[in-house]
Structure 1
Amino acid sequence: MKKIKQNTILLLLLLVMQTLAFAGDKTSFNKGWKFIKEGEKLNHSLVSQTNFNDADWESVNLPHTTNLEPLVVNNQWQGISWYRKSFSIKKEEEQKQIFLEFEGAMNIAEIWVNGKFVKKHLGGYLPIVADISSFVEAGKQNIIAIRLDNTDSDVTGPKPLRILDFNTYGGLYRNAWMIVKDPVHITLPLLEEEVAGGGVFIRYPEVSKSSATISIQTDIKNTYKKEVSFSLVQELKWKGKTIKKLKSKKEILSAGTKRVMHQSMVIKNPKLWNTYSPNLYQLETKILINGKVTDHEVTTIGIKSVEFKGKELYINGEKRYVKGVNRHQEYPFVGYALSDQAEIRDAVLIKNAGFDVIRLSHYPHSPAFMNACDSLGLLTIDAILGWQYYQPTEAFRNQIFQTARDLIRRDRNHANVLLWEVSLNETKMPLEFREKLSKIVEEEYPKVKAYSAGWMDEGYDVYFQARQHRILHPETEGKWKGPYFVSEYGDWEYYSKNAGLNQHKLDKQTRYETSSRQSRVYGEKRLLQQAYNVQEALNDNLNTSAFGDGYWVMFDYNRGYHSDLEFSGLSDIFRIPKFAYYFYQSQREYREDKDAVVKIASYWNENSPLDVKVYSNCDQVVLSLNGEEIAIQTTDKDKNSSKLSYAPFTFKVNNFVAGELKAEGYKDGKLIKVDRVKTAKKASQLRIKLAENTVAVGNNDLIFAYIEVVDEEGTIVHDFADTIDVRLAGDVALMNVGEVQVEAGIATALLKVNSLDQGLSIQALSKKTQLKGSFQYKENE
């Protein structure tokens, strides 16, 4: 019996669940929806009514995508879709305030409750928050109907999907929540529409190792028809234990009014949040009336300071260079409709790759992903939607301004936010437009400096420039006097004919082979080429005045118009790492032995290069073949290693001999880490395992099951090709569109796990070669 791997990720999952900001009585609104696409002919006056018959609609739970797409998406479904749900409000909640929050709805949403129009929302990446208190009836069944339109929009952007270069997908693709509050309650920031207001807003005006000041702003509303007397309590907790408590004097709040309360507490010897020590506190905010708690929120916070001195970045007073990567949130087949656990696993992969910062390209990512970054110690560059698209219309400009405000209101309490990218990426924007966006950051995050960032070199606090633009325009080097971040690198300058590295002199095939866009099926030589490119590019970045950089991109993704995926990912779209992933992993700081990395970048077969690369952050590596020592070496000293924290080790092997390569990594003369690679023999079976760091928890989870083609000793046969027949048992479904294909020795099945009550069984059979494999899991075994 094989079990799902349960390790440190389980602790992380529990920790991330704690980072959710609880507001009053907040419950999931994900289950029990009815759905139909191609709903252009349906009229809201019918669909929104409580007596509308939706029996022939599909039953779904959220997160949900409007359409399962093939692996390569060229004609993404766009159109009108509808969602309906029946729900009840308890009789005792009749006098309560009832709110709904949808974390993501693509792209234009219109909402009705019990046949009455509630609101319209533009934009698919930020939450919709609706007050439905006056639309529902307690003690009865209520009906919500939502019309979604994910067709191209001149108002929300970005540019039309057919030329966009990424996909926007569709559906109610993130979580939905019902929030029930007392008439005297803490407000919801995205509903209040107040500059730097609403909800709980936490800032840190003074931060040092010896002391930190926490400034807490709380927005309280009274919807009673009478005045009330209340007190506001703040409790700061560390690992569940209260370490500081504040209680205001009694305040009088008139009927139908609001009050903004300001409180502060000083913490001695605070545990600061950083990328290598992501210390998190919980702040519980409570309203007390006659000694009774009428509303509360729990906000997970991390105390940190960010400051730029000239071009240099300081976090908590420590000078830093932050190594980063860009991320698209896409999954194969289901598009954006990831489970929270899938979002967390992505963050774990990025952290394990050795990165400090993620540029959230080119739109806001999910709350679950932001929570995971808080817990893991991953900085983010938080971005509004935008790419190569600007309209001078008032409607478009106002929409962009609103998304900038909503982004900050949603994410302002997250420890992970480093910069606010309130910019339309690679878009020529008027200076006054850029200055307005930068001003919004200042307005929405006052009193403590928050930093705006953007693609053009005027109007923002931090200048973003892709490496290819610097190569093409060397005159820009040093022109910008403020902080500078290499926003993208490692891909386009090795791919495009006009990116400045003389690709125009190469024939098409050579240009492809020497680019960073390398699929795992292309073989190890081309994967090594990608790793070489990223090493060269990172080393080059470290010669500039930049305080950090972001490789393009973490995971392979769809472009929406091309015959294949964009393959510059450090992992493929199924989250299987390439050699370049391990190069970056070897660059992570060696603080203790558990940080050690030793990885042989070879399959070691007759086609393998005899110059063997070993990626490691150790001082010394010993390589042996079949027990015979080849060499003891320190790091490479070539021109592309001069600035690296940990350069690779390159070993020259005279002849290929089948067997085992072993690399031993030493630190200060002590053996720390070992890696082994064996020559694969004939394929003999299929081995099924779940993706690294997977704990399937049911509840609409998405997990990757890897079907590895292995020889009799368990070595993956990387040159094996076949299709796989996958059969499942349990409350689980296969989400793959089309056949499950073996790629470089591994086939991937994307599974939607609704529940593990019935266990999980996977049977796999290769169609041509008849190799078999199985996997079983039962809870509590």
Structure 2
Amino acid sequence: MKKTLQQISALALCGVLAACSPPPTQQTSVISDINYDKDWQFFRSEKVLDLATAQQQTDWENIAIPHTPKIEPLVVNDQFQGDAWYKKTITTEADWKGKQISLKFEAAMNVAEVWLNGEKLTTHVGGYLPFTVNLTEKLLWDAPNELLVRLDNRDNPITGPKPLHDLDFNTYGGIYRHVYLQLDNDLHISDPVAAGKTASGGIFVRYPKVSATEATVSIQTHLINKSPQPKQFRVVQQLVDGEKKIIEQSSEPQTINGNGDIENQIEFTVNNPRLWSPKTPNLYNLVTRVYEGDALVDEQTTRIGIREFKWIEGQLYINGEKTFLRGVNRHQEYPYIGYATSDAADYRDAVKIKSAGFDYVRLSHYPHSLAFMAAADELGLVLLDAILGWQYFSEDPAFQAQIQQTCRDLIRRDRNHASVMAWECSLNESWMTEPFIDSLTTIIQQEYPGALSAGWQEYGYDIYLQARQHRLEHYKMPTKPYVVSEYGDWEYYAMNAGLNQSAWANLLQADRSSRQLLSDGETRLLQQAANIQEAHNDNFNTPAFADGYWVMFDYNRGYAPDLESSGIMSIDRLPKYSYYFYQSQRDPDEFSDKFTSGPMVFIASEWTESSSLNLRIFSNTDEVELQLNGKLIAKQAPDKNANTTNLKHPPFTFVIDKFEAGELKAIAYRAGKAVAEHKVITPNTATGIALTLDTSGKSPQIGVKDTIFVYAQLQDSNGDRVHSNNVSVKFTLTGSAKLVSPVETNTAAGIASALIEIGDSLDNIIVTAEAPNLAPASMTIK
């Protein structure tokens, strides 16, 4: 008798295939999904190559997934566009006999063609969502199989958006998310995207009733039978909270036709559920098991959060509690590697966003990774999930069909995530015809009845997204739930010039803009924070239930030879002063061991002779006391002025008579009790370097392709921070890791950043940083 997949342990699969799956993201088959990221080969070509020419190529490079076709410079002036070819040898195993075998790509940029043993199997258009290739009838069992993938990331009028030279972000390339080999029995749970069925495919979880005392969980499971013979089966759903089984319910036996498919429905009630919200991101594991007779033939675990999003008179209620969502927009790119981030890197981004005081993220302007979405579920970040779109619309039926299919696939991929609030099936800042908008909102209702749509045009959508720069000249009271989708950048950069970037690119003085690099100095970083404070305060004068600052991290733009620097963190994930403004807006009573929380205080100054004597301090407490060299300057309440009227926690401004070198110390008080403090010390000349590893809630991951930052901070002989720019720091590495960033990078505000790639082991990984006339520093990565 052949073993079932249940009888093949995960450990055995790792041994057979020399590849173990990373921790599940949101919905992963615990039996049949095998990580297939290793042992690929790659080459790139700016020319369009045919299959025969690619097969004759001799300079293939050994690589692992996620992968980008080219390590780009920090500022990307000419992103690679062309052919990216990938090759992998698939050797079949005896245990695969009798299984349905397919290969799933989480994403590949942008048009993918796949061949096996010279036979073309599929073409997939679109670079942000998954696609699956069935290999079952195509694999050779007595010889190695050659898999070839060609990716074309050139400008494409069918997928949009604008051509890269006019685009405000980069789209990069490569197989930049995971690849999985899927082994299934003939009777199995379908893939939600590959199934291609409306409001179906895979596992679909909904919550018809939600309250603190009782919740209804409705589970729809789509099954496929690849055998020509009918099969009798039953489905068992088990809800697990940590290690505790809450509910187990089995369906009645059903029969599925040969070569057929069927829906299974199970609904149960959870008493006193632990509900999901930004403050309490409680998650359950839903374990779905499929039995044919007594044999377990499939099993999947879906991480779910029981919650209700409801709008009453335009305001958001989460589980019955009125909630304002303070949020931010995110581009997913990393320096040098573009989109090819590790799951751990995406998790670290989510931790930084939550630590900054945000509870909401608009996924701008395309589908982000499953790893980031899983992190949002875990940390309590509400998401606005978006299709690709930016300032590009076409009447071409092929373009419109592609966008419509993208909307369907997005919902099918992401519908079970607790964090998803609504679906932005809208082409951002692109004027769309009403029939086209109608088609997209209809698709949302078809795929997820009762779900809400969101779009930047007020017509047709359930939620109206309006950027502040548009509102300043074109605002009228919205008649539906309303989000300030973007604010704080463009209106200060271009005097509300609108969308014509090329014409208005240099209109405003740099020192008035919110686009400030970390290296631009104290005065400009304080201006960015002032702009943000003014705009965020003003957003509360609208009926918005959420707002989203533009943007979390600095990023590259296809059309401009510089970084878009309105991020509250630099492109290498270092905080600017504005990061701490947002952090001060979080409730001090909110605590978590997964991100920075609780009472905080931060002095926005380097405290040098050129520093402002109007000292700005961010805190979420009642009072702040400021000391200079142990002497009391003042103890005072938050500011009160026109730009603080709507803020929960305005900044504190202290006026100091004259500069005196030394230690500034801020002590924050709640109800008369000291609860937080922060110190800034006037630096002396730099004499050395201190190294830190940016773990942000996730330590370096081995066995997968993880990327992580190392920061080299200049310091003086007392160990105090020095803020000098443009000091060249040289990084060297030993052990099972490699340097992704250049060997030498310059400091920004006293910090040089290195991006390193972790290998299969942490053995003997030592990072060394050195700079002229400074004592070098070394750190062992553990």
Short-chain TM bin: over 0.9
Measured in 1, the distance between the counterparts of 2:132 and 2:706 equals: 24
Match of 1:9 in 2: none
Measured in 2, the distance between the counterparts of 1:153 and 1:19 equals: 31
Match of 1:487 in 2: 485
| Contact 1:16 1:372 (C-alpha < 8 Å) held by counterparts | no
Match of 1:5 in 2: none
Q: Are 1:658 and 2:665 an aligned pair?
A: no
Match of 1:467 in 2: 468
Residues 508 and 215 of structure 1: is their aligned pair in 2 closer, same or farther, counting only changes over 3 Å?
closer
Match of 1:525 in 2: 523
Match of 1:451 in 2: 452
| Contact 2:493 2:507 (C-alpha < 8 Å) held by counterparts | no
AA matched with 2:764 = G
Deviates more, 1:228-237 or 1:394-403: 228-237
Find the residue that maps to 1:329 and give its secondary structure: coil
Alignment equivalent of 2:733, drawn from 725, 728, 732:
728
- Residues 699-723 of structure 1: CA distance to partner in whole angstroms, max 9, x if unpaired? 2110111011111122221125321
Alignment equivalent of 2:45, drawn from 38, 41, 61:
38
Match of 1:647 in 2: 650
Measured in 1, the distance between the counterparts of 2:440 and 2:506 equals: 41
Alignment equivalent of 1:591, drawn from 584, 589, 592:
589
Match of 2:29 in 1: 22
1:520 is displaced (CA, Å) by 1.2
Deviates more, 1:237-246 or 1:396-405: 237-246
Q: Are 1:367 and 2:367 an aligned pair?
A: no
- Residues 615-640 of structure 1: CA distance to partner in whole angstroms, max 9, x if unpaired? 11111111111111111111111110
| Contact 1:471 1:499 (C-alpha < 8 Å) held by counterparts | no
1:477 is displaced (CA, Å) by 2.3
1:87 is displaced (CA, Å) by 1.7
1:55 is displaced (CA, Å) by 5.3
Measured in 2, the distance between the counterparts of 1:560 and 1:586 equals: 34
Q: What TM-score, normalized to structure 1?
A: 0.94
Match of 2:13 in 1: none
1:139 is displaced (CA, Å) by 6.0
Match of 2:328 in 1: 325
| Contact 1:236 1:283 (C-alpha < 8 Å) held by counterparts | yes
Match of 1:421 in 2: 424
Alignment equivalent of 1:745, drawn from 747, 750, 761:
750
Alignment equivalent of 2:533, drawn from 512, 518, 535:
535
Measured in 2, the distance between the counterparts of 1:438 and 1:23 equals: 34
Alignment equivalent of 2:777, drawn from 767, 773, 781:
773
Alignment equivalent of 1:570, drawn from 568, 571, 575:
568
| Contact 2:235 2:288 (C-alpha < 8 Å) held by counterparts | yes
- Residues 311-338 of structure 1: CA distance to partner in whole angstroms, max 9, x if unpaired? 1111111111100000000111111110
Measured in 2, the distance between the counterparts of 1:510 and 1:129 equals: 48
Written as runs of structure 1 = structure 2, the 5 A alignment for 1:367-446 is 367-446=370-449
Measured in 2, the distance between the counterparts of 1:507 and 1:359 equals: 25
Match of 1:622 in 2: 625
Match of 1:7 in 2: none
Alignment equivalent of 1:134, drawn from 134, 137, 140:
137
1:54 is displaced (CA, Å) by 5.9
- Residues 230-284 of structure 1: CA distance to partner in whole angstroms, max 9, x if unpaired? 1111011000221101111211222111110111010000000000100000001
| Contact 2:383 2:421 (C-alpha < 8 Å) held by counterparts | yes
1:527 is displaced (CA, Å) by 0.2
Alignment equivalent of 2:717, drawn from 707, 712, 715:
712
Deviates more, 1:37-46 or 1:400-409: 37-46
| Contact 2:117 2:147 (C-alpha < 8 Å) held by counterparts | yes
Q: How large is the Cα RMSD of the aligned pairs?
A: 1.9
- Residues 709-752 of structure 1: CA distance to partner in whole angstroms, max 9, x if unpaired? 11112222112532112111011111114741111100001111
Measured in 2, the distance between the counterparts of 1:608 and 1:170 equals: 43
Q: Are 1:351 and 2:354 an aligned pair?
A: yes
Match of 1:560 in 2: 558
Measured in 2, the distance between the counterparts of 1:702 and 1:339 equals: 6
1:46 is displaced (CA, Å) by 6.2
Alignment equivalent of 1:81, drawn from 80, 84, 97:
84
Find the residue that maps to 1:436 and give its secondary structure: helix
1:759 is displaced (CA, Å) by 2.6
| Contact 1:273 1:279 (C-alpha < 8 Å) held by counterparts | yes
Measured in 2, the distance between the counterparts of 1:733 and 1:318 equals: 48
1:498 is displaced (CA, Å) by 3.9
Alignment equivalent of 2:221, drawn from 218, 223, 245:
218
Measured in 1, the distance between the counterparts of 2:377 and 2:747 equals: 36
Measured in 2, the distance between the counterparts of 1:675 and 1:433 equals: 53
Alignment equivalent of 2:238, drawn from 235, 238, 251:
235
Q: Are 1:256 and 2:263 an aligned pair?
A: no
Measured in 1, the distance between the counterparts of 2:437 and 2:291 equals: 43
Find the residue that maps to 1:192 and give its secondary structure: coil
- Residues 295-323 of structure 1: CA distance to partner in whole angstroms, max 9, x if unpaired? 01100000000111121111111111100
| Contact 1:21 1:300 (C-alpha < 8 Å) held by counterparts | no
Measured in 2, the distance between the counterparts of 1:15 and 1:379 equals: 24
Structure 2 unmatched ranges of 5 or more: 1-20, 592-596
1:17 is displaced (CA, Å) by 4.3
Find the residue that maps to 1:743 and give its secondary structure: coil
Q: What TM-score, normalized to structure 2?
A: 0.94
Written as runs of structure 1 = structure 2, the 5 A alignment for 1:3-402 is 17=24, 19-22=26-29, 24-38=31-45, 40=47, 42-45=49-52, 47=54, 52=55, 56-138=59-141, 140-402=143-405
Identity %: 45
AA matched with 2:609 = E
Alignment equivalent of 2:637, drawn from 634, 637, 640:
634
Residues 222 and 392 of structure 1: is their aligned pair in 2 closer, same or farther, counting only changes over 3 Å?
same
Find the residue that maps to 2:156 and give its secondary structure: coil
| Contact 1:187 1:219 (C-alpha < 8 Å) held by counterparts | yes
1:644 is displaced (CA, Å) by 0.4
Match of 1:762 in 2: 767
| Contact 2:88 2:147 (C-alpha < 8 Å) held by counterparts | yes
| Contact 1:71 1:737 (C-alpha < 8 Å) held by counterparts | no
| Contact 2:731 2:744 (C-alpha < 8 Å) held by counterparts | no
- Residues 546-582 of structure 1: CA distance to partner in whole angstroms, max 9, x if unpaired? 1110000000001123232011000000000000000
1:764 is displaced (CA, Å) by 1.4
AA matched with 1:517 = R
Number of aligned positions between the proteins: 751
Structure 1 unmatched ranges of 5 or more: 1-13
| Contact 1:15 1:375 (C-alpha < 8 Å) held by counterparts | no
Match of 2:699 in 1: 695
Alignment equivalent of 1:549, drawn from 547, 550, 560:
547
Find the residue that maps to 1:189 and give its secondary structure: coil
Measured in 1, the distance between the counterparts of 2:411 and 2:519 equals: 41
Measured in 2, the distance between the counterparts of 1:375 and 1:518 equals: 32
Residues 630 and 770 of structure 1: is their aligned pair in 2 closer, same or farther, counting only changes over 3 Å?
closer
1:42 is displaced (CA, Å) by 3.8
Residues 743 and 185 of structure 1: is their aligned pair in 2 closer, same or farther, counting only changes over 3 Å?
same
Residues 720 and 199 of structure 1: is their aligned pair in 2 closer, same or farther, counting only changes over 3 Å?
closer
